[in-house]
Amino acid sequence: MTVQKTLAGSPVGAPADADPELAALYQGFHRENLIPLWTEIGDLMPPHPRPRAVPYLWRWRDGLLPMARKAGELVPVGRGGERRAIALANPGLGGAPFATPTLWAAVQYLNPGEDAPVHRHTQNAFRFVVEGEGVWTVVNGDPVAMRRGDFLPQAGWNWHGHHNVSDAPMAWIDGLDIPFQHYVGSTFFEPGPEQVETRAAPPLSRSERLWGHPGLRPLSHLGPVPATPLLAYRWEHTDRALTDQLALEAEGYPATVEAGHAAVRYVNPATGGDVLPTIRAEIHRLVPGTRTAPRKQTGSAVCQVFDGAGEISVGDESWRAERGDLFAVPSWHSLTIATESGLDLFLFTDAPMLEKLHQDRAEAGEAR
Amino acid sequence: MTVQKTLAGSPVGAPADADPELAALYQGFHRENLIPLWTEIGDLMPPHPRPRAVPYLWRWRDGLLPMARKAGELVPVGRGGERRAIALANPGLGGAPFATPTLWAAVQYLNPGEDAPVHRHTQNAFRFVVEGEGVWTVVNGDPVAMRRGDFLPQAGWNWHGHHNVSDAPMAWIDGLDIPFQHYVGSTFFEPGPEQVETRAAPPLSRSERLWGHPGLRPLSHLGPVPATPLLAYRWEHTDRALTDQLALEAEGYPATVEAGHAAVRYVNPATGGDVLPTIRAEIHRLVPGTRTAPRKQTGSAVCQVFDGAGEISVGDESWRAERGDLFAVPSWHSLTIATESGLDLFLFTDAPMLEKLHQDRAEAGEAR
Amino acid sequence: MTVQKTLAGSPVGAPADADPELAALYQGFHRENLIPLWTEIGDLMPPHPRPRAVPYLWRWRDGLLPMARKAGELVPVGRGGERRAIALANPGLGGAPFATPTLWAAVQYLNPGEDAPVHRHTQNAFRFVVEGEGVWTVVNGDPVAMRRGDFLPQAGWNWHGHHNVSDAPMAWIDGLDIPFQHYVGSTFFEPGPEQVETRAAPPLSRSERLWGHPGLRPLSHLGPVPATPLLAYRWEHTDRALTDQLALEAEGYPATVEAGHAAVRYVNPATGGDVLPTIRAEIHRLVPGTRTAPRKQTGSAVCQVFDGAGEISVGDESWRAERGDLFAVPSWHSLTIATESGLDLFLFTDAPMLEKLHQDRAEAGEAR
Amino acid sequence: MTVQKTLAGSPVGAPADADPELAALYQGFHRENLIPLWTEIGDLMPPHPRPRAVPYLWRWRDGLLPMARKAGELVPVGRGGERRAIALANPGLGGAPFATPTLWAAVQYLNPGEDAPVHRHTQNAFRFVVEGEGVWTVVNGDPVAMRRGDFLPQAGWNWHGHHNVSDAPMAWIDGLDIPFQHYVGSTFFEPGPEQVETRAAPPLSRSERLWGHPGLRPLSHLGPVPATPLLAYRWEHTDRALTDQLALEAEGYPATVEAGHAAVRYVNPATGGDVLPTIRAEIHRLVPGTRTAPRKQTGSAVCQVFDGAGEISVGDESWRAERGDLFAVPSWHSLTIATESGLDLFLFTDAPMLEKLHQDRAEAGEAR
């Protein structure tokens, strides 16, 4: 029989058109909305992950930022479009506005005096500010200042809008689990007022005043808190934590992930775990002259150079990246970072999805 | 400016071709692999889930089973194709061999004397037997009999093959998280021997002898067990559990999910939680004259009528279904089951993905 | 100064009476309800646990059982005393009716036709039946038969009473965390009716019909279940589980804790963890000619020989024990069991207290 | 029969001496180390907790502190006694050096230049500083400054010693689970060097530099951390957290436990749960004119007035307490605090023991 040979010869054989019985069978499959595994298994169940997403770098200074500025001139923000956000579209994902299969990353831009209208959605989100200040995001009525280096998570189904109280436009990045929720079908959305509910612009949000004291939990809030109640992780703390790790390393104590490589994970102070149910976020600092050991893992990531510059290598791609540049790391692609002058890297991943569902696997190579 | 009107008029506006500056901006987006949110948000972030998958019914007696039999005549099983499995392809998913975005369901067919070769993969899997017997699945060398009504889970990365020791062919269904693992990029696969490692065909697997005693845990196995170590959930137990629930209801005690509707979830005896990290499986029994309250929830399901017949309604679709028929329930589609003559329904879902990532939401209607 | 020498000479020095200033200080301590650590530390913080409880064996056939029978003749059961239960009083515990510091063990005796009145208390409890049958314990109205080899747990704050429907008296053992709850001050008690609420005496309790099917959880009961909802663990299951482990061992598979030594832990089917929040219970089977490796651990245990006979060694004590005999194992006392003819041993411990509070430590020796 | 009347007449009846058979039975019980439940149940299983420990207040300024000073003159610190610590002995506990059945509280005193020798023990411990500074506790070689208002936890089995680098003596309180570990028999102790391993006296410990940044977790330390890795909770943070709660309350947001009553719990930054496996610690601030609602709960507590003064009521006792005064709250004794001038209260409890073992119960009254 033809197909036996075909199968033996090529694991993912197409059906032999020559055999009329077989052809009828395949037509039957098609008619009945059935697809045989044996023609698909090579793609579906490869020896190791073979993601469609590709390694890709988006430039900040000469790409994202001028694009966002131009959009700021031409495109209004408001009801309907909701946000002046421009998404990174991974070239491997067939035109979808997704940085990786699970993660959304966008640059958002707000002109002086503008309001991004209030809404809520089940998508988990965060903002990270690579430069600028002057925008307040108002989450459930709590105004949260956004400044360079701040990480501002906001779990699903909280009302939020932004407004720019300064006299300069501001750009930042948004990270969300839009692709994942689109994929599993868990997405709800509800519009709110056109303008944020308060113009107050305090330096600290109420969330920070309640939850931002290290190791201290308010007794008024002892119930379960699946996503972080802390709406701002300020750069001054992050910077000090990284600085301290490197100082401890220099004093001879284990504090860094590898020599010259400090890193912190943003965590939910009520659990010590990831800030959001679906998204992990971290910031890494490499001292000048550092090269990380290559590492690959299941699941995907998006990274942004927060400061400095370096050579990034993802799978077979490599780029020189500098402040603001963003890149995507597909599943099971080895990531290495090297820097002559020092580098701070922000990154977010879908690791909680992989870990909670026992799909995480990692492989670390040797540093060269 | 044109776009403002467009945005105001239609939330998901396409760019106005008339404005050359705007046109240039959109070309720039395209060139830089960027996509604006404001043209996509209606699809990406709808008010409630709008899955691409559709409600669909696959017939067993006149569809799947004769197809599988024909494949049994024409298509060999063996290395390369690995399994004579024919997948349900949801018509809404663009030709992918997926019953729902996250779940794989297939009918598998094995002739007398055949071996489905040994392999292992990260995909979590189970088998459920709607009719027949005579095949043993050998999991890490432990031979597990497969008989009508048995549920046979098998967590990722365990070696397994099947062989038919009887003189009749046998068909059953396979359920896996192939689509999900393909999506996140966590799939590993490794081939093993062409034939199962043992021809022993004991009535009980070793896993049942170790783990199948109610409320009794072997002291030799106290470590963490993220997926069920029990490889067979026998119909005799399931049937008795359902019968007992209905008897208890008749005696006046709370034991059923609603009047005339008994149900059990297959659980990991080491945790009391779902059998597999990504898949939930249950069996429901409706006594004659029962109609379930409509219920919709995020995430998707695949169901098979195990016994009896009834009217199935999923969203706006409805069918009369009988023994062996399979149907897909997309996210946020209301499911109702009614039966005059009684019905046993097996179902599996991606609920663990939704629940562990805090994306589960459900809405129950009133029974009519 | 006197005390310095004293301290140097003996770590747990008594104060030097010779020094009047020091004497005044110690008088002041006494007056103010203060006690210096330096005179107590040797007892309070020894190098390893030095429990007050001692190893002790209570004989069944010639001790507990005749005593219980005599009490059955002379002492009524009923309101006030509540139960005809006679507690094991560890000789090291200064006259308290406690088998170990945390655990209560008693023999309970009920004549034909008698009712032990209904009450509820926060104490977690179980019954274990070394011989006889004919008593039903009624837990929240659910009648549970008690028969040789059955383990019948019942978490705190459930109404329960017992009655003997047979024409013979019956004795069994009760295990509770009375000492622990007395110690921490968490004990509540409420009396109920003088007689059990139902005379129904079905072979299976409702709890077993709902929860006694291996790996199957009723969908009507998905909420958290901190203590086991299964009110009876029948000997037929336990016996089969132990038999299966030894058979698997004989076939060459890892199933026993050591050669010739099978063991199961009674677990909550809703969690896979211990049956009760404070008490662990297990049953061990040693084939003829087996000697266990010595093992000591923090926390205490009470054991009863269920069948057979053997040499028991606890710390420096050892006894020949046979069916029904009970013994106490104090903290950090090495336990070894040897048997020529085979032995089944039931045991319960305070391990959940130690483990959940991170106070568990164990040391296993070599088998001789 | 005599005893029947006795039982009916008094629930906890003593045996009737008149009945010779009964007398013989009771002699038999005594001989065999058995104790009947029916004579003990009233004490063992009361309707609600009836702890032996009593409410008691120890004065700081005129009691503990001068006593500690005197001990500082007369009693050396060093090997053998290990610590110059003076324990609160609850008058209800029969002369044991325990503040409550489960908790140890002591004032410790160290003269300029003295070392409290290095040791480790399984007991979980903390220090809390009501006044003074100048001592460093060195935990596993990490020097931790101790200053007024600081809370310094240190989980079991970590090496630690103290030394006073200032020119003034210093007193502080120690809290440990010595009584509990003594009770269950889990206590191990190991002496180390006579002097602390480093004289370095940095303002911040290494633990704070690694773990003291709010919401930031070092990637070098992602494994499980059952007890807090943060060795110092500084007063400046605690004070600011309490101040912020009261300010938020004044602004109209839910931030306090009741009007005018702010409170934080010290938590493990790696879990958000209690700092130590067995001990909970909190600090409460009452603004002038506040009276707390009475509250009773199972388990016991020790409190110290950190600042201000107020009226304390525990069960039927009440005292006016001021800075430094300590008091014990036995199980199920109602606690109320009232203050005209404002009060900061530090407290620690055995709540983790009760909660993890499902023995917690609480009852809150109305504020008058």
Q: Mind listing the pLDDT tens digit for each residue in C335-355? A: 999 999 999 999 999 999 999
Report whether C257 contacts C282 (CB < 8 A): no
3-state secondary structure of D211: helix
pLDDT in the model for residue D13:
41
Q: How many CB pairs under 8 A join A and B?
A: 306
Interface partners of chain D (CB pairs < 8 Å, 3 or more) are A, C
pLDDT at C300 over 60: yes
Chains within contact range of chain C (3+ C-beta pairs < 8 Å): B, D
**What is the signed CA dihedral for A328, A330, A334, A336, rounded to 10 degrees?**
10
B/D touch flag: 3 or more CB pairs below 8 Å: no
pLDDT digits (tens, 9 = 90+) for D173-202: 999 999 999 999 999 999 999 999 999 999
Mean pLDDT of C110-119: 96
Contact D22, C59 (CB under 8 A): no
Question: Looking at residue C17, what is its pLDDT?
Answer: 60
Query: Tens of pLDDT along D62-89?
Result: 999 999 999 999 999 998 899 999 999 9
Residue B2 vs residue C331, higher pLDDT: C331
Is B244 close to C209, i.e. CB distance below 8 A?
yes
Q: What is the pLDDT of residue B79?
A: 86
Q: How confident is the model at residue A16 (pLDDT cuts 50, 70, 90)?
A: low
Which DSSP symbol is given to D130?
S
Residue D106 to chain C, least CA–CA distance (Å): 8
Classify burial at C304, counting beta carbons within 10 Å of its beta carbon; exposed 0-12, middle 13-18, buried 19 or more: buried
Confidence of residue A7 (pLDDT cuts 50, 70, 90): very low
**C93 secondary structure, DSSP code:** G
* Ordered alpha helix ranges (H), D86-191: 178-184
Tell me what the mean pLDDT of segment B253-274 comes to. Answer: 98
Pick from B223-227, B328-332, C12-16, D232-236: least confident: C12-16
Q: Could you identify the residue written with the tokens 């997403």?
A: A53
Average pLDDT over residues B317-331: 98
Percent of all residues in chain C with a pLDDT value above 70, rounded to a whole number = 95
- CA-based nearest residue in chain D for residue C35: D87
pLDDT band for C10, please (50, 70, 90 cuts): very low
**Per-residue confidence at D365, pLDDT binned at 50, 70, 90?**
confident
For chain D, helix, strand, coil in percent to 5 are 20, 35, 45
Amino acid at B273: G
Q: Is the predicted pLDDT of residue D16 greater than 70, yes or no? A: no
pLDDT at C48 over 80: yes
Sequence-distant (6+) residues with CB within 8 A of B87 are A34, A35, A36, A37, A40, B97, B98, B99, B104, B105, B106
The pLDDT of residue B365 is: 87
**Do D359 and C186 form a contact (C-beta atoms < 8 A)?**
yes
Closest CA to B268 of B258, B278, B253: B278
Nearest to D215 among A248, A253, A269 (CB): A269
Q: In whole angstroms, what is the distance from residue D164 CA to residue D110 CA? A: 6
Residues contacting D62, CB < 8 A, separation 6+: none
Q: Higher-confidence residue: D7 or D322?
A: D322
Q: How far is D338 from chain A (nearest CA, A)?
A: 19
Q: What angle do CA C30, C35, C41 make, to 5 degrees?
A: 150
Q: What is the pLDDT of residues A182-193, one digit of tens each?
A: 999 999 999 999
Dig out the tokens for A266 from the structure: 């943003």
- The predicted pLDDT at position D7 comes to 34
Note whether B269 and C215 are within 8 A (CB).
Answer: yes
Residue B80's pLDDT band (boundaries 50, 70, 90)? confident
Q: Tell me the per-residue pLDDT of B101-130, one tens digit each, with 9 for 90 and over.
A: 999 999 999 999 999 999 999 999 999 999
Contacts of D327 (CB under 8 A, 6+ apart): D55, D56, D57, D58, D302, D303, D312, D314, D319, D321
Q: List pLDDT tens digits, range B159-193.
A: 999 999 999 999 999 999 999 999 999 999 999 99
Which value, to the nearest 10 degrees, does the dihedral of the CA atoms of residues A160, A166, A169, A173 take? -40
ipTM score assigned to the predicted complex: 0.94
| Tokens, residue A98 | 């997704």
Packed helices D65-74 and C20-31: angle between N→C axes, nearest 10 degrees: 150
What element of type H or E holds B138? Answer: strand B133-139
What is the secondary structure of B179-227 as a DSSP string?
HHHHHHT---EEE--SS-S-----SS-HHHHHH-STTEEETT--S--SS
Burial of A85 (0-12, 13-18, 19+ CB in 10 A): buried
Q: Across residues A341-354, what is the average pLDDT?
A: 98
* A3, pLDDT greater than 80: no
pLDDT for residue B368: 64
For residues B265 and B267, what is the distance between their CA atoms, to the nearest angstrom?
6
End-to-end Cα spacing for chain B: 53
pLDDT in tens, D238-294: 999 999 999 999 999 999 999 999 999 999 999 999 999 999 999 999 999 999 999
- Confidence at residue D17, expressed as pLDDT on a 0 to 100 scale: 60
User: With left for phi above 0 and alpha for psi between -120 and 50, is residue C266 left, alpha or beta?
Assistant: beta
Which residues on B lie below 8 Å from C218 (Cβ)? 241, 245, 255, 263-264
**Which secondary structure element, helix H or strand E, spans residue D172, and what is its range?**
strand D170-176
Q: What is the pLDDT of residue B196?
A: 95
pLDDT band at A13 (very low <50, low <70, confident <90, very high): very low
B27 pLDDT above the threshold of 90: yes
Whether the predicted pLDDT of B13 surpasses 80? no
Chain B: closest CA distance from residue A32 (Å): 7
Interface contact C245-B218, CB threshold 8 A: yes
Low-confidence winner among C16-25, D28-37, D337-346 (lowest mean pLDDT)? C16-25
Distance of CA B322 to the CA centre of its chain: 18
Q: How confident is the model at residue A29 (pLDDT cuts 50, 70, 90)?
A: very high
CB C218 within 8 A of CB C211: yes
Higher pLDDT, B1 or A256: A256
Q: What are C228-272's pLDDT values in tens digits?
A: 999 999 999 999 999 999 999 999 999 999 999 999 999 999 999
CA–CA distance, D153 with D232 (Å, rounded to integer): 7
pLDDT of residue A14 exceeding 60:
no
DSSP letter assigned to residue C227: S
Best interface-test mutation with C: which of D174, D187, D329 has the largest number of C CBs within 10 A? D187
What's the pLDDT band for C281 if we cut at 50, 70, 90? Answer: very high
C67 torsion bin: left (phi>0), alpha (psi -120 to 50), beta (else): alpha
A15 pLDDT exceeds 60? no
Percent of chain C with pLDDT over 90: 93
Reply yes or no on whether the pLDDT at B15 is more than 90: no
Interface with chain D: mutation pick from A207, A220, A265, A344, highest number of D CBs within 10 Å: A220
Q: Residue A360's closest chain B neighbor by CA?
A: B186
Q: What confidence category does residue A368 fall into, taking pLDDT thresholds of 50, 70 and 90?
A: low
pLDDT reading at B285 higher than 90:
yes
- Residue C198, pLDDT > 90, answer yes
Task: Note whether C53 contacts B: Cβ–Cβ < 8 A.
Answer: no
Question: What residue of A is the nearest CA neighbor of D221?
Answer: A255
Q: What is the mean pLDDT of residues A46-68?
A: 97
Asked if C216 lies within 8 A of B263 by C-beta distance, the reply is no
Alpha-carbon span D104 to D90, nearest angstrom: 10
Reported as a pLDDT band with limits 50, 70 and 90, residue A6 is very low
| Chain B closest-CA separation from residue C362 CA (Å) | 15
Mean residue pLDDT across chain D: 94
Q: What is the pLDDT of residue D1?
A: 29
CB-side neighbour CA atoms (13 Å) of B295:
13
Question: Chains that contact A by 3+ CB pairs under 8 Å?
Answer: B, D
